[in-house]
Amino acid sequence: MSTVYDAIIVGGGHNGLTCAAYLAKAGRKVLVLEKRHVLGGAAVSEEIYPGFTYTVCSYVVSLLRPWIIRDLDLAKHGLQITPLEASFTPYPDGRSLCRWPDAARTREEIAAFSPTDADRYPEFGRAMGQLARFAKAVIDQPAPDPTSLRPKDLMQMLGLGKELRGLGNNLAEIQLKLTTMSAVDFLREWFESDELIAPMACSGIIGTFLGVKSPGTAYVLLHHYMGEIDGASRAWGFAKGGNGAVSEAIASAARSFGAEIRVNAGVQHIVVKNGRATGVVLDNGDELHAKTVVSGCEPRLTFLGMVGEDHLPDDFVTSMKRYKLRGSSAKVNLSLDGFPEFSSRPGDGPHVRGDVAICPSTDYLERAYDQAKYGEHSTRPYINAVFPTLFDRSMAPEGKHVLSCFVQYAPYDRQGGADTWPDHRDHLGDDVVDTLAEYMPDIKDRILHRQVLTPWDLEQEFGLTEGNIFHGELSLDQLLFQRPTAGFARYATPVKNLWLCGSGAHPGGGVMAAPGALAALHMLQTKAI
């Protein structure tokens, strides 16, 4: 007789692994199935070039919820996170700006561009920090449904409303502006220097196919103020071993609680009988049975790909077809024969022991978006880069380095169709390197190996539909009770015994593990498993 699991989790990304850990910790018999040869989904580290380990897709840690780290005792399972020391923005004219954890040091840097902005920056940080505390209350619990008349939903909405009112009129007004304004317009109400506004505005476009001057991008800024490393708010960090180490620590915790995890085990489809999920069929034809199936995959792939329209209500199918993915990001990883020199600040000092933002002006960023709107990748893109080897020397041979570059914009739906990306992959890589060379003139001479991942590659290799890194855009119409669609934000789906636990569920994308944990806890609390 074949084994019947309490839960089969489709996808061994960090959210699927987190869900498995919580369910197994509660005594449930859990199986995780991962299509690739390595766990982690987009939070993965791999030796792509001999001796060099890339944090292949995602590359920094901030939103990983502290309570999940504590619940799963991830430090015991090897998780080590080093805070980033700075956010460094070089400019083509040889100037540069560094924002540090040290407020006085940051003030001095900003004052070189605008003394007024230097005075206002701490006030801005305090306001955003207060709003972030409100936002944390939202992301650390299942989303309330304002359309529901259930007492629990109404009480939750009332509680959030009280917290919002408790912010005071000024902060409530700022919160309203965050939900309606562009990142640039919002920041210009605070600051006058474009050199400061540009790197700050970049936070508003990550995960969206919008420009820094597009309405709605201001809200995403708030996500960068919700980070927390070792109790320090607004902190970003690097995991020793790359983000794959985050996934491996969670997997280790899940195994310690009794979860079974398989790699090279792709799921062909989810079995639905009489409106209920009963198991899965693997790519090799094997059928596995479970009382509950939980998908850590992107919603459209889950429902239209693995479940099938015949098992879903027509209005739900329509919602899924309208669900916005629109991947706009690429990743370029470089192996380097030595550390490249920045013209503005040579050396591998503390200014580069954080993220490096190539975004010299708001007009530069908007022009990058303009190209993407018409189906071309940005020839001079926004680049956010990290040197992992400055945090973990084991990721490259002695004296060598790795450079991890997040690239915006690279539209999935490029001219000629997404399947033409392989013909343009090297062009994108060349444009990224050419852009970097404007700030690091010697970088071309130091490149030993280059990995270019277009949105098409992210889809083909990692199952990220349309290459969307967050399993769906972080737009206001796809957040909170509307993620992935109204009426199904609490991880349940129209198919009985089928649940969501990936980034396409509340509270959304990023390496935060909250969707996986909240889905598991909600299932346990409601006795659905």
Higher pLDDT, 485 or 166: 485
pLDDT at position 328 is: 95
Residue 505: Cβ-neighbour burial (10 angstroms; 0-12, 13-18, 19+): buried
496 vs 2: CA distance, rounded Å: 22
What does DSSP assign to residue 492?
Answer: B
H-type alpha helices, 311-386: 314-322, 362-373
pLDDT tens for residues 447-476?
Answer: 999 999 999 999 999 999 999 999 998 887
Q: Which two tokens stand for residue 164?
A: 């919002």
Question: What residue has token string 């309330």?
Answer: 144
pLDDT beyond 60 at 113: yes
Among 509, 515, 501, 500, CA closest to 469: 509
Question: What residue has token string 């490096």?
Answer: 356
Considering only 160-169, 333-342, 405-414, which range has the smallest mean pLDDT? 160-169
pLDDT tens for residues 118-147?
Answer: 999 999 998 888 888 777 778 888 887 776
Query: What ranges make up the beta strands (E) of 171-298?
Result: 228-229, 232-233, 237-239, 260-262, 267-273, 276-282, 287-295
pLDDT at position 88 is: 97
305 vs 334: CA distance, rounded Å: 34
pLDDT tens for residues 426-451?
Answer: 999 999 999 999 999 999 999 999 99
pLDDT at position 163 is: 58
206 vs 323: CA distance, rounded Å: 18
Q: Is the peptide bond before 66 cis (omega within 30 degrees of 0)?
A: no
pLDDT at position 500 is: 98
Task: Answer yes or no: are the C-beta atoms of 204 and 222 closer than 8 Å.
Answer: no
Side chain identity at 273, as an amino acid letter? K
Among 405, 383, 387, CA closest to 395: 387
pLDDT beyond 90 at 96: yes
CA atoms within 13 A on the CB side of 503: 25
Q: Which two tokens stand for residue 458?
A: 């992210």
pLDDT at position 137 is: 77
Say what angle helices 243-256 and 14-25 make with each other, to 10 degrees.
20
Tally of CB atoms within 10 A around 238: 28
Higher pLDDT, 225 or 512: 512
H-type alpha helices, 150-210: 151-166, 169-180, 183-188, 194-201
pLDDT at position 295 is: 98
Indicate the SS3 state at residue 350: helix
CA 356 to chain centre: 18
278 vs 299: CA distance, rounded Å: 18
pLDDT beyond 60 at 87: yes
Q: Which two tokens stand for residue 187?
A: 């920041």
pLDDT beyond 60 at 13: yes
Question: What residue has token string 């596995």?
Answer: 288
Of the pLDDT bands very low, low, confident and very high (cuts 50, 70, 90), residue 165 is low
Indicate the SS3 state at residue 7: strand
pLDDT tens for residues 389-424?
Answer: 999 999 999 999 999 999 999 999 999 999 999 999
Residue 6: Cβ-neighbour burial (10 angstroms; 0-12, 13-18, 19+): middle
Side chain identity at 74, as an amino acid letter? L
Task: Answer yes or no: are the C-beta atoms of 297 and 502 closer than 8 Å.
Answer: yes
Domain boundaries, the chain: 4-43+62-82+240-324+473-525, 90-234, 325-465
pLDDT at position 228 is: 64
pTM above 0.85, yes or no: yes
pLDDT at position 177 is: 85
E strand or H helix at 461:
helix 455-462
Among 38, 361, 388, CA closest to 238: 388
Among 172, 171, 170, 177, CA closest to 218: 177
Side chain identity at 46, as an amino acid letter? E
Q: What percent of the chain has pLDDT over 70?
A: 94
Mean of the per-residue pLDDT values of the chain = 93
Q: Which two tokens stand for residue 158?
A: 């009332």
Task: Answer yes or no: are the C-beta atoms of 21 and 250 closer than 8 Å.
Answer: yes
What does DSSP assign to residue 254?
Answer: H
Residue 257: Cβ-neighbour burial (10 angstroms; 0-12, 13-18, 19+): middle
pLDDT at position 141 is: 87
Task: Answer yes or no: are the C-beta atoms of 298 and 502 closer than 8 Å.
Answer: yes
Report, as an integer, the average pLDDT of 101-122: 96
E strand or H helix at 422:
helix 421-437
Report, as an integer, the average pLDDT of 358-386: 97
Q: Which two tokens stand for residue 442?
A: 């010697």
Question: What residue has token string 């034809």?
Answer: 285
Q: Give me the CATH code for the 325-465 domain, please.
A: 3.90.660
**CATH-assigned architecture of domain 4-43+62-82+240-324+473-525:** 3-Layer(bba) Sandwich (3.50)
48 vs 482: CA distance, rounded Å: 38
Of the pLDDT bands very low, low, confident and very high (cuts 50, 70, 90), residue 234 is low
pLDDT beyond 90 at 330: yes
pLDDT at position 370 is: 97
Higher pLDDT, 356 or 233: 356
Q: What is the total residue count of the chain?
A: 529
